Amino acid sequence: MDLLLLSNSVLPGTEYLEYALPLLKAQLGGRRKVVFIPFAGVTQSFDAYTDKVRLALAELDLSITGIHTVDDAPAAIAAAEIVMVGGGNTFNMLKNCRERGLIEPIRQAVNNGALYVGWSAGANLACPTIRTTNDMPIIDPGGLDALNLLPLQINPHFTNALPAGHQGETREQRIRELLVVAPELEVIGLPEGSWIAVQDGHAQLGGDKPALLFKASQPAITLAAGHHFF
Amino acid sequence: MDLLLLSNSVLPGTEYLEYALPLLKAQLGGRRKVVFIPFAGVTQSFDAYTDKVRLALAELDLSITGIHTVDDAPAAIAAAEIVMVGGGNTFNMLKNCRERGLIEPIRQAVNNGALYVGWSAGANLACPTIRTTNDMPIIDPGGLDALNLLPLQINPHFTNALPAGHQGETREQRIRELLVVAPELEVIGLPEGSWIAVQDGHAQLGGDKPALLFKASQPAITLAAGHHFF
């Protein structure tokens, strides 16, 4: 299994996906043929989203096909060397993937050796469920189960800060609610600028910040940068 | 229709539901018999949540029954003068209400003259759907449709601020995504400390802050404190 799961797409002061370029370079190997899944993009067209990613990754010399442009999407996924899933609204993404019958083809492609790259909502899709998304439920995804490529629930864009004076739940409080109704899950609070890379059966925390691991009925566990999950 | 829909439960420097006491007093009339719906409470027991509300509202001399304690919940709702729905996790609340067959009984009770009081998740439940909740989807609610007592989607705890340095979507960006996939909806960004009161066929914005009205393909409209919706 070969996964690159990024918390987010942009770091302050850098271009779109710029911080991901060296990570992608390191993990690509000889693979160049990408299907891009743009369905998390809601306020931009799927074409525009695909073009934006092409531009951001131009120096990698990839061949990027938007999955919305092909007639036989499962076949295109089966033939892909890289499955890339962009961020945006997780509910809209999962609904589209489910309705178009892409869940099982993506899982199979990755099990057969394709590299899975996802950021934000795309990182969530690789988890057992999307129950740790921060997004608004703008549409019913037809169930919360996702790809289950990784045995951890990523909470992307993790921060426990609230805007000054705000009375809403903190991120940890929200995750604690999840762990009451689903104590079998383990949740990684993945800060912006961090990622999880899975290669050769091992998973490592990337980036220069610690992440938090939340388990039911236990205090949060701090995972140092570079932590090996398994 | 008689509704009191509060953005949240606590204002800084005040006790739980303290700011709601004068509003409740003004809208109760002679009604005292309350069923309380505690299902949004996840990290506290339904008993503890009901007791907390009883304590907070003690000076109103209400008779408050937790709906989880009665054998025939639909009958208890039908006999209630006030249906009160507390905040917490909206998904857990809707799932429980749906599975226990309470959606239609609550709607009927309110149509028959019961006062509906909801805060945060409880305010969301009164809307056409829960698609404007801020909560984490910790459990599948079996569909996003809600009570539809008000023809507006409330976004509770509304703020467009992000924690410093955070790259996630603003609240307005999230609402804009909703309005792309559901342009028929109208969304009220209801700041903390504000509420919507519906009485005698009229709906008014309460509190001392403006709220924002979001419609598809239009800039946000500022609604002054005291605004009459209809």
pLDDT band at B218 (very low <50, low <70, confident <90, very high): very high
Residue B189, classed as helix, strand or coil, is strand
Residue-wise burial string across A9-40, b where 16 or more C-beta atoms lie within 10 A, e elsewhere: bbbeeeeebebbbebbeebbeeeeebbbbbbb
Distance, in Å, from the CA atom of B132 to the CA atom of A125, rounded to the nearest integer, reads 21
Spell out the alpha helix ranges (H) of chain B: 21-28, 46-56, 73-79, 90-99, 103-111, 121-125, 171-181
Cα torsion angle, B181, A131, B88, B156, sign: negative
The residue-averaged pLDDT of A37-53 equals 98
For chains A and B, CB pairs below 8 A equal: 122
Distance, in Å, from the CA atom of B45 to the CA atom of B62, rounded to the nearest integer, reads 21
Residue with the two structure tokens 């309350």: B34
pLDDT of residue A46: 98
- What is the SS3 string spanning chain A? CEEEEECCCCCCCCCCCHHHHHHHHHHHCCCCEEEEECCCCCCCCHHHHHHHHHHHCHHHCCEEEEHHHCCCHHHHHHHCCEEEECCCCHHHHHHHHHHCCCHHHHHHHHHCCCEEEEECHHHHHCCCECCCCCCCCCCCCCCCECCCCCCCEEEEEECCCCCCCCCCCCHHHHHHHHHHHCCCCCEEEEECCCEEEEECCEEEEECCCCEEEECCCCCCEEECCCCECC
Q: Which residues of A touch B (CB under 8 A)?
A: 8-12, 42-43, 88-89, 91-92, 130-140, 143-144, 157, 159, 161-169, 173-178, 180-182, 192
Which chain A residues have a beta carbon less than 8 Å from that of B177? 42-43, 88-89, 92, 136, 138
Which position has the higher pLDDT, B25 or A165?
A: B25
**Tens digits of per-residue pLDDT, B66-85?**
999 999 999 999 999 999 99
pLDDT of residue B162: 87
Residue A122 has pLDDT above 90, yes or no: yes
CA distance B82 to chain A (A): 25
The residue-averaged pLDDT of B108-112 equals 98
pLDDT of residue A118: 98
pLDDT of residue A162: 87
User: By percentage, how much of chain A surpasses pLDDT 70?
Assistant: 100
**Which helix (H) or strand (E) element contains residue B199?**
strand B195-199
Distance, in Å, from the CA atom of A140 to the CA atom of A134, rounded to the nearest integer, reads 15
Distance, in Å, from the CA atom of A190 to the CA atom of B20, rounded to the nearest integer, reads 37
Residue B167 has pLDDT above 90, yes or no: no
In whole angstroms, how far apart are CA A191 and each of A61, A197, A207, A212, A218?
A: 29, 14, 9, 9, 20
Distance, in Å, from the CA atom of A141 to the CA atom of A125, rounded to the nearest integer, reads 12
pLDDT of residue B164: 81
CA distance B46 to chain A (A): 13
Task: Return all residues near B169 (Cβ < 8 A) that are at least 6 apart.
Answer: A135, B177
pLDDT of residue B168: 83
Spatial contact of A92 and A42, defined as CB atoms under 8 Å apart: yes
CA distance A79 to chain B (A): 31
Distance, in Å, from the CA atom of B6 to the CA atom of A213, rounded to the nearest integer, reads 34
pLDDT band at B159 (very low <50, low <70, confident <90, very high): very high
pTM of the model: 0.96
**Tens digits of per-residue pLDDT, A87-116?**
999 999 999 999 999 999 999 999 999 999
Residue B56 has pLDDT above 90, yes or no: yes
Residue of A nearest to B153 (CA): A138
Active site residue A47: no
The residue-averaged pLDDT of A57-73 equals 98
Residue of A nearest to B145 (CA): A140
Q: Taking CB atoms and an 8 Å limit, are B135 and A169 in contact across chains?
A: yes
Spatial contact of A162 and A108, defined as CB atoms under 8 Å apart: no
pLDDT of residue A24: 97
pLDDT of residue B163: 84
The residue-averaged pLDDT of A179-196 equals 98
For an interface test with A, which of B138, B153, B190, B214 has the most A Cβ atoms less than 10 Å from its Cβ?
B138
Among A147-161, A164-178, A190-204, B66-80, the minimum mean pLDDT is found in A164-178
The residue-averaged pLDDT of B149-173 equals 92
Catalytic residue among A2, A7, A9, A135: A135
Mean pLDDT of the residues in chain A: 97
Q: What residues of B are annotated to the active site? A: 120, 135, 157
The residue-averaged pLDDT of A34-41 equals 98
A86 residue type, one letter:
G
The residue-averaged pLDDT of A206-226 equals 97
Task: Return all residues near A174 (Cβ < 8 A) that are at least 6 apart.
Answer: B89, B135, B136, B138
pLDDT band at B123 (very low <50, low <70, confident <90, very high): very high
pLDDT of residue B47: 98
pLDDT of residue B166: 83
Which chain B residues have a beta carbon less than 8 Å from that of A143? 140
A50 pairs with which residues across the strands? Answer: none
Q: Which residues of B touch A (CB under 8 A)?
A: 8-12, 42-43, 88-89, 91-92, 130-140, 143-144, 157, 159, 161-169, 173-178, 180-182, 192
